[in-house]
Amino acid sequence: MGQRLPNPTTLFTSKPSAACTFLSLLVICILGFYTLHYVHPEPSSSNPQTALRFRRIFLSHATNATVASYLRALTLHPHLAGTPPSLDTAHFVRAHFMGLGLDTRSAHYNSLLSYPLRSSLSAHFSNGSHVDIPLTEPGLSAENGVVGAYHAYSPSGSAHAKVVFANHGTDEDYRALAELGVNVSGCVVLVKRGGDLPRGEAVGKAEQNGALAVLLYTEGGDGFKKGFERGLVRSGAGDPLTPGWAGVDGAERLDPEDPEVLKRFPKIPSMPLSAKAAELLLETLGASPVPNQWRASLPAGVGGVGPGPTVVNFTYQGEKKVVAIHNVFAVIRGAEEPDRYVLLGNHRDAWTYGAVDPNSGTAALLDIARRYALLMRSGWIPRRTIILCSWDAEEFGMVGSTEWVEQNLANLASKAVAYLNVDCAVQGPGLFVRATPQLDNLIVEVTKKVKDPDSEGATVYETWMAANRSIDIQRLSALDSDFAPFVQHAGVPSIDMYYGRDFPVYHTAFDAYDWMVNFGDPLFQRHVAVAGIWGLLALHLADDSILPFNFLSYVDQLKHYKDVLSSLLDGNVSLHPLTTAIQEFAYAAKEVEHEAQRLRDVQSTSELVLLKKRALNDRLMLAERGFLDSDGLEGRHWFKHLVYAPSSDHESELFFFPGVADAIFQAKRMSGREGQAKIQHEIWRVARAIQRAASSLRGEIF
């Protein structure tokens, strides 16, 4: 039954009898007397030397063979969300947690997912010949359990029309076609995935230009050109039928034909295409020549963009249906602050076998659970509660994590310290990290403690610095993994990390254990490094007496964003409200950093000191919530964060201040004065959000 994850402090409560009530009051009074009259020590994990010993034990018990065995077990079969093999994977994770003796929980939701029924594609050439194009990887059949190539939430439809190549399918690309005199109306558009344009946006822009259907392909790299990149083409996060609330049993659900639901889906059908099949079509297009700026990434034999003369016969039929999805949790209850949560999350569901995406991350999470269980047997109890989260249906739009966040929003708002996300733990070489800025310093310090998987004798930090000449931590504005509901909807400080920027088997049937063993991480040392960083981050956040947040990094980022904005806007829009708010935030950040240092230096464990630390930690934890606005972004109210969320203009230069980015985009279609007023209003909204965060840091009303 889908249910809220219980507060670890009240997991086993029941209605008390009168006698129990009296005894409980008596016990509370006795405990209260001793609490007030005797100094008591902090938990062992809060002692710096003891905490250091436990962190060393955690790192020393990493074994790449163990992680490899987890990944092998997870990838024996494809496990698309909402299917029986996916439920088997949930049972596997649950059994692992329970086998370690961890308090294991689950929650299920009923959500609208999308599956293919049948599809076909044939190409008809000018010489009268034709070819049927396969729509799945070679050597696969229904017995393999691999779903055919499709786009989740694509509408059913068919088209018999000429092909036009539109490069990446951006507005700029369609303008380039228009300059050549090419009209895509009534055609099937062929688009190469690239840049930051989501699949759904690529389909939407083709629709706006009059296309009948879209074929999307990805450059597969040598040996993988026959792979099909599956994926979704809807907008938003979570279950489309329960926007803003959880799809639990008996919940209100919108009708699938409700305009609020339908606006999330494209109106024309689309399908993925392999790079090999795309080359076949590209080499037979004529008419207008390929623009010079597109040629660098195309095969040498491509001469034109169309329309035609090649014609495709395109058919796709799919279904949307409500199915059960399952989240699984392991809870390690904190000793001193059980009502403060440090969450580590990864999703289990995969388009196919999921060796990289997502089960490299799942294997790392299972290994962290194993090592935490070992620490517990060694006497470790975290100061704060740790929750290990295994999400379902992320590939369909972060459904499992979003439903859980929406269901538990009030508790997370008051109790969540941080969320640490790993989707694909290993895609290749090189560490990449995204985070809310107050966690930057912690990330740097932890990477100094973990051995680099690819450089003998070096730490991750040293190799990271050598590769980038600085620590390059990106931000969390994208809507592409399970951190999104935590940051963009709930305002929880978060981190997302992975090894390797890209990999050639993304969302294809080639994303299997063999690819990981042969290409991604043959010795599984990168898996060990990710698990080490991930687990150490959580240990610091769970055990440090003062939360390791540093808001001076946030100040630097906000100042930089203001400077970038200044270079984009004319003098008719004032940034003074933003400047003033950032100054106020900077002052609060400096004050709270000094206060944190003073309390770290205090050796006493008296009740007064503990209360001061608790109060400071609450301010540090809650400051991120200040950046939320209850009204959300205009037209996209689910997104509450005014610093980090995706812009509706996916070609915007701004990856911050999404409301301002939206206003700049919308102002292009308004009169000068009206557009300036819109931008100014959004600047004021951001300024007020920064002031709220500053007020949270100060912890004072007056």
Tell me which residues are annotated as active site.
394
Q: Which of 681, 359, 287, 338 is nearest to 515 (CA)?
A: 359
User: Which residue type occupies 464?
Assistant: W
CA–CA distances in Å: residue 540 to residues 127, 422, 604: 68, 17, 20
Q: Is 161 helix (H, G, I), strand (E, B) or coil?
A: strand
Q: Which of 49, 62, 48 is nearest to 535 (CA)?
A: 62
CB 51 within 8 A of CB 538: no
Phi and psi, residue 338, nearest 5°: -65, -15
Task: Give me 167's structure tokens.
Answer: 């490069």
Q: Is 599 exposed, middle or buried (0-12, 13-18, 19+ CB in 10 A)?
A: middle
**346: Cα separation from own chain's centroid:** 9
Q: d(Cα 638, Cα 489) in Å, to the nearest integer?
A: 6
Q: d(Cα 97, Cα 328) in Å, to the nearest integer?
A: 9
Q: d(Cα 329, Cα 94) in Å, to the nearest integer?
A: 8
Q: d(Cα 674, Cα 686) in Å, to the nearest integer?
A: 19
Q: d(Cα 7, Cα 385) in Å, to the nearest integer?
A: 10
Q: Which residues contact 297 (CB under 8 A, 6 or more apart)?
A: 192, 194, 219
Q: d(Cα 61, Cα 64) in Å, to the nearest integer?
A: 10
Q: d(Cα 407, Cα 410) in Å, to the nearest integer?
A: 8
Task: Give me 131's structure tokens.
Answer: 């070819």
Task: Give me 28's structure tokens.
Answer: 């509370």
